């Protein structure tokens, strides 16, 4: 069953086309990547999908409902964790529930249920500056999930992490996604990350940005470290590099 679709999205600013004729879909439980170079319009597309920006033409649908220009239907996690420094991790994570009208005590109770599953047990009463970058990203992802457990948009969620931390976060992320089955569309510039995490990859190139190709990564998730050195992984990477070179 399709959860999210975008059809024929066009966006222009001051007469300049930013993205042109973008059509994508995200099915239930999928992890789909939007891969491309800087300036291709990936974040602009995310702003359209999240309802923060109304496209010049085209529409966005969630389970058949037209949500074009309607903010608050999808959860949206930015590159930075955006945790509030004066709130505890528990209060940061439960904030989406409070915003939706849930009483603070109940919101904390509901959020607390997920702390063990997200590897955050013991951090409830700590503050963001007491956590590592990886743990902060876990908290940010849990907050995103509690905002909407239907579809999440993640804008380069691991780009701020160092290589070692990023590797462990990838492993953790694939594990937790097997549990929560959150339909996810994420942006990255990292080809390896796209192949490792995704069920499908949309490659976005050009100015204005267009979807140049869609690739399916058929190897079953979760994928371990051995997948990164496999022949299948290398073939996927070669193909993506060819597409990016052709469309420079």
| Domains located in the chain, CATH noted | 2-74+150-246 (3.40.50.300), 81-147 (no CATH)
**pLDDT tens profile 56-68:** 999 999 998 999 9
Q: What band does 177 get if pLDDT is binned at 50, 70 and 90? A: confident
Query: What is the spatial distance between Cα 237 and Cα 113, in angstroms, rounded to a whole number?
Result: 39
Name the nearest CA neighbour of 229 among 196, 181, 186: 196
Whole-model pTM: value is: 0.89
85 or 161: which carries more pLDDT confidence?
85
pLDDT(79) > 80: no
Query: What is the spatial distance between Cα 227 and Cα 207, in angstroms, rounded to a whole number?
Result: 33
223 or 44: which carries more pLDDT confidence?
44
**pLDDT tens profile 7-31:** 999 999 888 899 999 999 999 989 9
Percentage with pLDDT > 90 across the chain:
58
């Amino acid at each position: 069953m399709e959860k999210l679709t975008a059809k024929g999205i066009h966006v222009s600013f001051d007469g300049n086309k930013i993205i042109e004729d973008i059509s994508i879909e995200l099915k239930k439980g999928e992890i789909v990547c939007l891969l491309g170079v800087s300036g291709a319009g990936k974040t602009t597309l995310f702003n359209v999908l999240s309802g923060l920006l109304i496209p010049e033409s085209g529409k966005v649908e969630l389970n058949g409902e037209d949500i074009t220009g309607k903010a608050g239907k999808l959860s949206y996690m930015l590159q930075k964790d955006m945790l509030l420094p004066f709130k505890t991790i528990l209060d940061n994570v439960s904030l989406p529930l409070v915003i939706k009208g849930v009483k603070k005590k109940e919101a904390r109770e509901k959020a607390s249920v997920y702390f063990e599953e997200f590897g955050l047990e013991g951090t409830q009463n700590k503050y963001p500056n007491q956590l590592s970058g990886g743990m902060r990203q876990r908290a940010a992802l849990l907050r995103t999930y509690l905002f909407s457990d239907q579809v999440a948009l993640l804008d380069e969620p691991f780009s701020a992490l160092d290589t070692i931390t990023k590797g462990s976060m990838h492993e953790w992320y694939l594990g937790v996604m097997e549990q929560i089955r959150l339909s996810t569309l994420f942006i990255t510039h990292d080809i390896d990350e796209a192949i490792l995490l995704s069920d499908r990859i949309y490659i976005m190139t050009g100015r204005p940005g267009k979807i140049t190709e869609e690739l399916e990564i058929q190897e079953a998730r979760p994928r371990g470290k051995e997948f990164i050195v496999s022949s299948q992984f290398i073939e996927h990477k070669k193909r993506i590099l060819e597409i990016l070179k052709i469309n420079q």
